[in-house]
Amino acid sequence: MISSEMDKAARSWQGAGGSPGGIGQFVVGSIMAIVGAYLILNQVTVTSGFWSYFGGHSFGVTLIPFLFGIGLLFYKSSSIPGWVLTIAGFLIIITGIIANMQIYFRPASLFNTLIMLVLLVGGLALVFRSLREYSAQ
């Protein structure tokens, strides 16, 4: 009875992905991937331009359906047109923000770029490798 409880406890503590072994690779790979992703994202600059849906400077026009929807919801919270206008207006605003974003990778030396990419790709490879079945040879 005691040995079956010990076997059960041993089976409950398994490695990454439910297979024996691979925990060290998983932890090291996760740290490498997180550091690499942080360094790459730290090199990115995000700026925005002017809204140009219906000509120059048209952000105010995109607020109209959203504000009408909010007004209808304050008047009657179960208003279907209010919900539709609010959600549609919100989606128009989010679409406008994303469509007007400009994303740049700041200049970096080749060495720094290679370090970032090796950390990210090597870390992900170690994480995926740790999820395979481990066999001690």
Residue 124, Cβ neighbours under 10 Å: how many? Answer: 16
- Model pLDDT for residues 81-113, shown as the tens digit of each residue: 999 999 999 998 898 888 888 889 999 999 999
Residues 56 and 81 in one domain: yes
Total-model pTM:
0.59
For residues 86 and 56, membership in a common domain is answered with: yes
Distance separating alpha carbons of residues 15 and 21, to the nearest angstrom:
5
Residue 86 sits in the same domain as residue 115: no
Number of domains in the chain: 2
Q: Are both 49 and 101 inside the same structural domain?
A: yes
Looking at the predicted structure, is the pLDDT value of residue 19 above 70? no
SS (H, E, C) 37-93: HHHHHHCEEEEECCCCCCCCCCHHHHHHHHHHHHHHHHHCCCCHHHHHHHHHHHHHH
Q: Which domain holds residue 128?
A: 19-43+107-137
Residue 2 covered by a domain = no
Return left, alpha or beta for 76; rule: phi > 0 is left, psi -120 to 50 is alpha, else beta: beta
Higher pLDDT, 11 or 113: 113
Same domain, 81 and 91: yes
Question: Do 77 and 99 reside in the same domain of the chain?
Answer: yes
Q: Is residue 28 part of a domain?
A: yes
